[in-house]
Amino acid sequence: MSLYLRPTAFVDAPFGYDGQVLRLAGGLVWFSAVEIIRVESGKRVEQRLVPVDRIDEALDDRGRALLARITAPRPQITLGARVIRFDQPSAMAILNVTPDSFSDGGRHVGDPEAAAAAGVAMAEAGAAIIDVGGESTRPGAATVWEGDEIARIAPVIERLARAGVAVSADTRKAAVMRAALGAGAAMINDVSALTYDPEALAAVAAAGCPVVLMHHQGTPQDMQTNPHYGDVLIEVYDWLEARITAAEAAGIARDRILIDPGIGFGKRIAHNLALLNGLALFHGLGCPLVLGASRKRIIGALDNEAPAERRLGGSIAIAMKGIEQGAQLLRVHDAQETVQALKIWRGTRDEALTPRSR
Catalytic residues: 296, 331
Asked whether 141 and 221 are in contact (CB, 8 A), the reply is yes
User: Which distant-in-sequence residues (6+ apart) come within 8 Å of 69 by Cβ?
Assistant: 283, 284, 285, 286
User: Which one, of 275, 197, 280, lies nearest residue 23 by Cα?
Assistant: 280
- The H-or-E segment that residue 10 falls in is strand 2-11
Cα–Cα distance for residue pair 127/14, rounded to 1 Å: 29
> What residues pair up with 39 in beta bridges, in sequence order?
2, 44
Contacts for 61 with CB less than 8 Å, ≥ 6 apart: none
Rg (Cα) of the chain, in Å, rounded?
20
Question: What stretches of the chain show up as alpha helix (H) in DSSP?
Answer: 55-58, 61-71, 112-124, 146-162, 174-183, 200-207, 232-249, 269-277, 297-302, 312-323, 335-352
What are the Cα distances from residue 321, in Å, to 34, 268, 351? 18, 19, 20
Q: How many CB atoms lie within 10 A of CB 266?
A: 22
